[in-house]
Structures are given as structure tokens and as C-alpha cells.
Amino acid sequence: MPTALIVLAAGRGTRMQSDLPKVLHPLAGAPLLWHALRAGAALEPARSVVVVGHGAEAVARAARDWDPEACIARQEDPRGTAHAVLQAAPHLQGFAGDAVVLYGDTPFLGEATLGALAEARQAADLVVLGFEATDPAGYGRLVMAGDRLERIVEQKDATEAERAIRLCNSGVVCADAALLMDLAAAVGNANAAGEYYLTDVVAIARDRGLTAAVVRCPEAETLGINTRAELAAAEAAFQRHARAAALQSGVRMPGPETVFFAFDTAVGGGALVEPFVVFGPGVTVETDATIRAFSHLEGCHVSRGATVGPFARLRPGAELAEDVRIGNFVEVKNALVGEGAKVNHLTYVGDASIGEGANIGAGTVTCNYDGVAKHRTEIGAHAFVGSATMLVAPVRLGAGAMTGSGSVITDDVPDGALAVARARQVTKPGLATRLMARLRAARKEG
């Protein structure tokens, strides 16, 4: 049976103390919304609807950055979760299948949990995801009758007996899409907050003789982000899990507590990641590569046997072939570095290609930007670039070519040629001694 996702992402998030919509705050280098959409992807949804409100345009862009085919529904006036779900109705007209309601600020739902939710739907008209709370204060309580879910009561509307219940509501609901919309439309707002609670669909369903069930999951999976402190706690939880998973897969990390992963970091078993390495989004590191301490990687690929750092920066578009050496205080951006090439220290390589076996001397810069546009530098296989060479793009250095140290290269250099582009040295014997004596005398007289 096909499944549709409804991801609620309309909240302002006032407790975040930020103008940025809550679901766009980053967790492990990606908006919270992306984490929710990635979790929902485990259900292989046939359709995804993201309900936006505060910061609608920015949230919609983020949703479509993740899924270009995502449908966008707008909740102009926030009047509760049932009202938010109803905004998705036009996008689900004629949809024959289940709908699952997720939340853009709840990033940690597991694939197994969502699979259990879908499986439970085969035996019940409505399924709710619940958890046993360490401290249930503030959560809606799941009121059970044996194995059946009778209703959900919000904390502010609960009796003392109901507040003692520890089985709590995550907010995640699964039901036939048409039924869910029908139930949501029947929700009223006769409650302490005057809102249309999605939780009320359970009691409405039971009154109609329909069945409701609960799937339980660990409390950690239901963590919602409402404050900066909760976001920081979520980041810490993500990093703990990512580090443990990396170690389990065979990644060597002498100081795992100092390494930070992004939501999509892929590091092959056998790779070495030294302390204080930070991975931004879009990084793949193959097995047997080495990332040395204090390096920052983002949007790049590091092949088998390559070494990066220490104190190196790989920016988006950096592609390192096997056995490449990128050393200390080297920055690489939008560049292909060929097999066995060396860029060992104090160098910037941007918008460039470096052939296999080439050696780039210290202090080299590919001068790629003219103030308006970027230009490429091509360095051939086994070329030798002397220290402090400025390669003014667009320019090509041929295979086996060389540059003299301190050169400013503005014209192409043929294969096997040596290019020297610097002023001729002039030496004046004794002038330094005479000049210093004159300066000291002038200072003494002053």
C-alpha cells in the first residue's frame, strides 16, 4: 500500500530566540527538517507534503532542496496540529493509501520504528507512536483499555489520575489518508488552549467504532527541539551515535569525542581520523585514508590512501585521488588532485586540476578570481611548481613542466618547459652595512 508523508513544519519556534524558522536550525550540518524527511524516506513515500507557516518561503526552499517533488501546503493561521494536517488535504485528494504525520522538529525517528508503525496499521484503523517517558510532564498521555488506545489527553486537560500515566504521545500518527482527513476535520477546539488538537482524532475514531493501536519506541527517538538547549542536546546525541557507528564500522579515531560528523558523512572502515577533525555536509572518505588533526572537510571526496592535514581545509568540489598528500595549512576548493600528487603546505588550490604525481611547492596560489568570475588552472602530470608561485588563471602548466620559486605565471607553460617570471636579483656590496649605520646615527641624533 502506498504511503504519503505529512511533515508539519509551520511553527515559529519562539523559544529558540531566533528569527530563523525552528525547522531550519542546523543539526549535524543540516536543517532539522531534512532529518525528519530523511527519517520518513524509510517508508518510501509515494508523496510528501510539507506544511509550512512561519518563514514559509525559506522552509519550502529547504524542503525542495531535499526533495524537489515535495508538495508545499501553507498554514496561514496556526490553530493547532489538526488544523495543520488539514492543510495537506488538497495535495492528497484521490490518494489511495496511508498517511503518516511527522514533525519537522523531531529528527531521530528510526527506520525500524516507522516500519513497525506501518506494520501495525495492517491490524488497526489508526496507529499512534508512543513512548514511556522518564518525566511525562508536558506530554499528552495515552489512555489505554488493555491493548486498545481509547484516547489521548493533553497535560493541561488531564486529570490527576491521567497525569500519572507514563505512556506518552509522540504526535506521530498513521491512518488511511482519506480517513485521517475526515477525522481531522471533525476535531473541535473545546480545550484549555482553544486549539484543534490532532490527538483528538483517536477519541473520534473510537466513537465511530474504529480501532486504534499504539506502537512504542525509545523516548530518545521522539526528542523534539524547542530550545537552544534542546538543540545542543540533540547535537550531542547525534555525535555520540555517529562516533559509535564509525568505530563499529572500523574507523580508527584516537580521540572520538573530539571528532564532529555531519548528517551524511561517510568514512570507510580502516580510515584514520585524528582528533579535532570536523566534517561538514557531503563528505566521503574512503578506507585507508588519513585525516590528520584539526582539519575541516566539506563537500569533498578523499580516495583510498590519501592523507589530509593536519590543519587542512577541503571545501566543496575537492576531489582527491588515491595516495594524494594534502598537508598543513592547505586549502582545496573545486579542484581535482590526481593520483599521488602532493600539495604539502601553505597553499591554496581553487578551481583547478592537478595531474598525477605533480608536486606543488609551499606558498603556491592558484589565482582563480578576477573580481567578477572564477577561472581554472590546469597543472599537468608530474609538473613541479616552485615555492611561492602565483598561477594567474586561466593558465595551463604542462606535463613535466616546472616553475621557478617566486614566479608569477600568467601564460601557459608547455610540457617539459621551465618558466621563471620574477625580477632579476641585484646585489650591491656593503650597502646594507652603510644603510644600517646611517639609520642608527639618525636615530641617535634625534
Annotated catalytic, 345?
yes
* 310 CB neighbour count, 10 Å cutoff: 17
* 360 CB neighbour count, 10 Å cutoff: 29
State the catalytic residue, choosing from 241, 345, 375, 382. 345
CA dist 277 to 98, 253, 259, Å?
43, 10, 5
Pairwise CA distance, residues 150 & 143, whole Å: 6
* CB distance 54 to 12 below 8 Å: yes
CA 309 to chain centre: 23
CA 143 to chain centre: 37
b/e sequence 285-295, b meaning 16+ C-beta within 10 Å:
bbebbbbbbbb
Written as nine digits, the cell of 245 is 557507528
Pairwise CA distance, residues 389 & 354, whole Å: 15
* CB distance 355 to 399 below 8 Å: yes
Pairwise CA distance, residues 217 & 269, whole Å: 30
Q: Classify the C-alpha dihedral 179-182-184-187 as positive or negative.
A: negative
For cell 517533488, what's the residue? 69
Written as nine digits, the cell of 158 is 488531564
Residues forming the active site: 345
